[in-house]
Amino acid sequence: MSRAPLLLALALAAAIPLDTAQAQDTPQPGTGHGAADHDAMGHGAAAQPGSPTASQRMMQAMDTMHQAMATEPMTGRPGLDFARMMVPHHQSAIDMARAYLDSGENDPTLTRISRDVISSQEKEIAELQAWIDANKGR
């Protein structure tokens, strides 16, 4: 498998300047959320001056996902490898949905989809993590 798409995505994400305040809110793969309480942020509130834009946050989420997936060693067990790769993949979707909701844009369809993504992907991460915990020693 070629690493060219991964390297391109990493290069693009590295080109986006990030505010140090945002770095404290960078979600860790598989945690379901970052350090900030996103529900308390009032989804739909415009970004604060000097904070990354929603698009920058989406690129950061993808970068975090790619880094997590690139550093996760493959076990040769398709089920375990699939589950472990899906956790950062789902987390990236959650983080992008939150970035959209926090952007201040109010498209009803995208707002509904973003909320659905957060809800469903958080549940699936919990299921995947439980499966990983139960099956990694087999």
Q: What is the pLDDT of residue 50?
A: 59
**Residue numbers of the chain with a pLDDT score lower than 70:** 1-50
Q: What is the pLDDT of residue 137?
A: 73
Q: How far is CA 41 from CA 56, 99, 100, in A?
A: 18, 11, 13
Nearest CA-CA partner of 60 in 90, 27, 103 = 27
Domain ranges of the chain: 52-138
Model-level pTM greater than 0.85?
A: no
Q: What is the pLDDT of residue 108?
A: 97
Q: What is the pLDDT of residue 116?
A: 98
Q: What is the pLDDT of residue 56?
A: 94
Helix (H, G, I), strand (E, B) or coil at 33: coil
Give the HSE-up count for residue 96: Cα atoms under 13 Å, Cβ half-sphere: 19
Q: What is the pLDDT of residue 39?
A: 37
The answer to whether the beta carbons of residues 16 and 26 sit under 8 Å apart is no
Q: List the structure tokens of 119.
A: 């809800």
